[in-house]
């Protein structure tokens, strides 16, 4: 039996710079992996199958793990089928990329099990068939994501050194925000950012990567907050509890802040309990770079 970690990701920034003819949007986004990760195992069997310790996860063909397996098999029909087992630690509907990361882990497992691995470039091409940000998780390296997410540029070594090991608090209310809905809200209420402006801000931050990259902004945040009022209310209270501002990651509903010192996690939990009830989720983890 083989196992792979499937790390969560943070969109430290998310600029929306264009609307494409295919209905998707063009992005400029700084994306990093986290220590927080699901785990996926694989063993050969007669047919594809998936088990999971989280009963809310669909185990049918709609699951991205099985979609990734089918996509890999279309390119390499000779590979053995098998059973996957998924241990979930990344919440659903959070904008943390859990499903896409699980899918990329499945591709890595199948490539290893094939006996003739094709490597990351091949896996990235397969991953993009599965989902827009799935290709990022094949290598799982800090990157600037452009286009729909298919154009990945590795962050410079100096930036990675500044980010490596930085602590982050990630929190999520009891509800998720479907990605299509977040972008529909942006179409109604958001404003496209000029590409040159987004690239200029990014260049300025990379010259001083010790500063907070979340200040580059998330263009989905304001439109999502217009509908999901519990998010800005909870984030204001959470920020006061830890002395840091929280920002939404990706399409939400998870939000994060970079940690300085040792925050009072008990105080944070108490605040979130009052604002969001018992269904909230919170974790302190680290950036991997």
User: Residue 107: enclosing H or E segment and its boundaries?
Assistant: helix 98-113
Query: How would DSSP label each residue in 141-202?
Result: --EEEEETTTEEEEPPHHHHHHHTT-EEEEEE-SS---HHHHHHHHHHH--PPPHHHHHHHH
Considering the candidates 9, 102, 172, 219, report the single residue annotated as catalytic: 9
Q: Report the side by side order of strands in the sheet with 167-172.
A: 247-248, 255-258, 167-172, 281-286
Q: Among this protein's residues, is 67 annotated catalytic?
A: no
Q: Among this protein's residues, is 133 annotated catalytic?
A: yes
Considering the candidates 26, 38, 102, 133, report the single residue annotated as catalytic: 133
Q: Quote the CA–CA distance of 147 and 150 in Å, as a whole number.
A: 6
In this structure, the number of other CB atoms found within 10 A of the CB of residue 21 comes to 5
Residues 185, 22, 191, 220: is their CA dihedral positive or negative?
positive
> Which residues are identified as catalytic?
9, 133
């Amino acid at each position: 039996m083989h196992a792979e970690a499937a790390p969560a990701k943070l969109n430290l920034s998310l600029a929306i710079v264009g609307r494409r003819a295919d209905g998707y949007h063009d992005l400029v986004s700084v994306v990093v992996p986290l220590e927080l990760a699901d785990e996926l195992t694989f063993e050969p069997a007669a047919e594809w199958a998936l088990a999971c310790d989280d009963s809310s996860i669909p185990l049918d063909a709609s699951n991205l793990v099985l979609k990734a397996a089918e996509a890999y098999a279309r390119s390499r029909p000779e590979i053995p089928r098998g059973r996957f087992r998924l241990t979930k630690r990344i919440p659903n509907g959070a904008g943390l990329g859990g499903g896409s990361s699980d899918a990329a882990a499945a591709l890595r497992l199948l490539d290893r099990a094939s006996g003739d691995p094709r490597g990351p470039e091949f896996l990235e091409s397969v991953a993009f068939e599965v989902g827009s940000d799935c290709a990022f998780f094949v290598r799982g390296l800090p990157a600037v994501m452009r286009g729909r997410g298919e154009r990945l540029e590795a962050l410079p070594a100096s930036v990675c050194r500044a980010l490596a090991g930085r602590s982050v608090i990630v929190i999520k209310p009891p509800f998720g925000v479907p990605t299509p809905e977040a972008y529909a809200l942006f179409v109604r209420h958001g404003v496209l950012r000029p590409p040159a402006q987004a690239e200029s801000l990014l260049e300025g931050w990379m010259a001083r990567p010790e500063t907070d990259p979340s200040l580059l902004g998330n263009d989905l945040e304001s439109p999502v907050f217009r509908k999901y009022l519990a998010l800005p209310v909870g984030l204001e209270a959470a920020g006061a509890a830890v002395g840091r501002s929280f920002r939404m990651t990706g399409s939400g509903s998870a939000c994060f802040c970079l940690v300085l010192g040792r925050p009072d996690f008990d105080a944070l939990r108490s605040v979130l309990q009052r604002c969001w009830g018992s269904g909230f989720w919170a974790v302190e983890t680290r950036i991997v770079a």
